[in-house]
Amino acid sequence: MRDGFLGFRTSFMLDFVVVALVVVVPILLYSLAAAKFQKRFPLHRNLQLLLAAVLLVAVLAFEVDLHYIQGGWRNVVAKRDPPFTSEEMAFVQRMLGIHLVFAISTPILWALTLTLALTKFPNPPVPNAHSRWHKPLGWASALVLTATSITGLMFYYTAFVRGAN
């Protein structure tokens, strides 16, 4: 049985969120370049809002699917053939722990960066006194999202792809 559309024993939503995590990184890079080099701040704002909306929808759908429909990642992993040894299971669990550190801090930092930017920059947005806060917050938000994406893909690979038939 191959439930995910990427060809592994996962689920449609799990594969969907994996694709979303890959797609958001180039859009993020483009949006940061629009602010830093092209000074196209309205485009940068719109892309950041779009990214936040896409991520919110993808992650909510993913959480509902994984926890309520699939019964948790252990259930998904249980479909593996051959099954994991207890050492392999412990390794996968460590990978998930690392991923969750980034996956939990990302929405918190993004919500803070977005709310402050939307309230402290004028409309249309241009640099002002808030730039002092927005630049470090923005870079930190971009970094944790990238780390969420990379560690999420590493978890997906170790839990669902590596060594499975």
Q: What does the per-residue mask of binding to ligand HEM show for 93-112, with x meaning CB under 6 A? A: -----------------x--
CB of 35 to ligand HEM, least distance (A): 4
Question: Contact between 91 and ligand HEM (CB under 6 A)?
Answer: no
Report yes or no: 159 and 28 within 8 Å, Cβ to Cβ. no
- Apex 112 CA angle, 46 and 104, nearest 5: 105
Rounded Cα distance, 145 and 111, in Å: 12
Please identify, among the stretches 34-42, 79-87, 94-102, 156-164, the one whose residues bind ligand HEM according to the rule CB under 6 A: 34-42
CB of 110 to ligand HEM, least distance (A): 5
Query: In the chain, count of helices (H) and strands (E)?
Result: 5, 0
The dihedral over CA atoms of 75, 151, 64, 10, expressed in degrees to the nearest 10, equals: -40
Q: How many residues lie near ligand HEM (CB under 6 A)?
A: 23
Rounded Cα distance, 155 and 151, in Å: 6
Q: If you search the block for the tokens 């990238």, which residue do you land on?
A: 146
The dihedral over CA atoms of 74, 79, 81, 85, expressed in degrees to the nearest 10, equals: 20
Question: Contact between 48 and ligand HEM (CB under 6 A)?
Answer: yes
Q: Which of 77, 114, 144, 159 binds ligand HEM (CB under 6 A)?
A: 114
CB of 92 to ligand HEM, least distance (A): 30
Residue 62 or residue 121: which is nearer to ligand HEM going by CB? 121
Please identify, among the stretches 13-21, 36-44, 56-64, 69-77, the one whose residues bind ligand HEM according to the rule CB under 6 A: 36-44
